[in-house]
């Protein structure tokens, strides 16, 4: 039986891996409470490395991103390799590509990477260093994803859900953008397949269809049971906001395009869930959890 160690405890992706994965012999370890040198890696076949600093609302020094996302990751990988672990899976991000230029070709597994911030740079430097550790007995699998959503989601997606719950009139009518997302059930399906065939390389993991912000908000409101009114923001105003390059505005009104046909062909895998199914399952869990907290 394949034994999987998740480095990084109580994470959103980790909890979903335990929920959806076909692999059941799973152990999580905190890297806040444990030194990598104290972990018995020789007990495991696969390490799924999730410990990371992602984009934070609070100010974090740039060096912290490199210490955790690159240096700590490499320490874990080197120790795992030395202990005889067969496969190391690193959860990366599409932020390694940098800023999407409208009109350019979709990003794919082989696209040039030019990350713009400490988060993207630290993840990309970790990718490059990990690939150098790979040998015949140690497979390195790099999984790049756009925003991941699903049961227990946090950060920006949770903020949008709560906004729709509280505000019945929102400025998202006819937003003709296109953004890719990854439902956690689809992400775990891809990771399971990567483990199953011991796949080496860079994998771009996402849902089969992209969404506009209008579609996303409409689906969220539908499953929340909320009636909302959408109004359109003038195009010139949106262009001005995008020119300022604030992250939140870009996520809501900007576009980027991905092509993961190479990943699907190599893995011979097709995501099991549509966007709408994934959003429905996420909101169902959200409402159940909310009701449970209220009752208790």
Write out the residue range of the structural domain in which residue 264 sits. Answer: 4-151+179-208+257-272
pLDDT tens string for the chain (296 positions)? Answer: 999 999 998 899 999 999 999 999 999 999 988 999 999 999 999 999 999 998 654 678 899 999 999 999 999 999 999 999 999 999 999 999 998 888 789 999 999 999 999 999 999 999 999 999 999 999 999 999 999 999 999 988 999 999 999 999 999 999 889 999 999 999 999 999 999 999 999 999 999 999 999 999 999 999 999 999 999 877 765 666 556 656 667 777 778 999 999 999 999 999 999 999 999 999 999 999 987 766 55
Query: Which of 213, 215, 221, 218 shows the shortest CA–CA distance to 253?
Result: 213
Q: What is the CATH number of the domain that holds 52?
A: 3.40.50.720
The total domain count for the chain is 1
Is 292 domain-assigned?
no
In a domain, 191, yes or no: yes
Q: Residue 34: inside a domain, yes or no?
A: yes
66 catalytic, yes or no?
no
Q: Which of 195, 65, 69 is nearest to 140 (CA)?
A: 195
DSSP, collapsed to helix, strand or coil, labels residue 64 as helix
DSSP, res 70:
I
**Among 44, 65, 97, 119, the one annotated catalytic:** 119
Does the residue 23 lie in any domain? yes
Nearest C-alpha neighbor of 103 from the set 245, 257, 210, 211: 257
Q: Note whether residue 286 is domain-resident.
A: no
Residue at 199 is within a domain: yes
């Amino acid at each position: 039986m394949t034994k999987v160690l998740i480095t990084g405890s109580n994470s959103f992706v980790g909890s979903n891996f335990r929920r959806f994965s076909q692999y059941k012999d799973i152990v999580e370890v905190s890297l806040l409470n444990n030194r990598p040198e104290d972990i018995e890696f020789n007990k495991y076949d696969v390490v799924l490395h999730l410990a990371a600093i992602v984009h934070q609302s609070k100010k974090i020094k740039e060096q912290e991103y490199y210490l955790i996302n690159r240096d700590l990751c490499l320490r874990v990988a080197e120790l795992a390799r030395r202990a005889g672990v067969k496969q190391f899976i690193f959860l990366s991000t599409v932020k390694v590509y940098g800023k999407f230029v409208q009109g350019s070709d979709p990003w794919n597994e082989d696209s040039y990477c030019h990350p713009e911030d400490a988060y993207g740079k630290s993840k990309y430097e970790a990718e490059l260093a990990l690939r150098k550790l790979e040998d015949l007995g140690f497979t390195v699998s790099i999984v790049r994803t756009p925003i991941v959503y699903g049961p227990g989601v946090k950060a920006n997606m949770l903020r949008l859900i709560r906004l729709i719950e509280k505000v019945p009139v929102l400025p998202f009518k006819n937003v003709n953008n296109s953004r890719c997302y990854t439902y956690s059930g689809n992400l775990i399906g891809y990771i399971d397949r990567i483990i199953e065939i011991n796949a080496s390389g860079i994998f771009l993991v996402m849902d089969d269809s992209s969404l506009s912000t209008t579609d996303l908000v409409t689906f969220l409101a539908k499953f929340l049971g909320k009636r909302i009114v959408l109004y359109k923001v003038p195009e010139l105003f949106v262009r001005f906001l995008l020119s300022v390059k604030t992250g939140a505005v870009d996520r809501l009104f900007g576009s980027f395009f991905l092509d993961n046909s190479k990943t699907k062909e190599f893995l011979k895998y097709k995501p099991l869930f549509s966007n709408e199914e994934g959003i429905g399952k996420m909101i169902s869990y959200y409402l159940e959890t909310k009701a449970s907290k209220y009752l208790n």
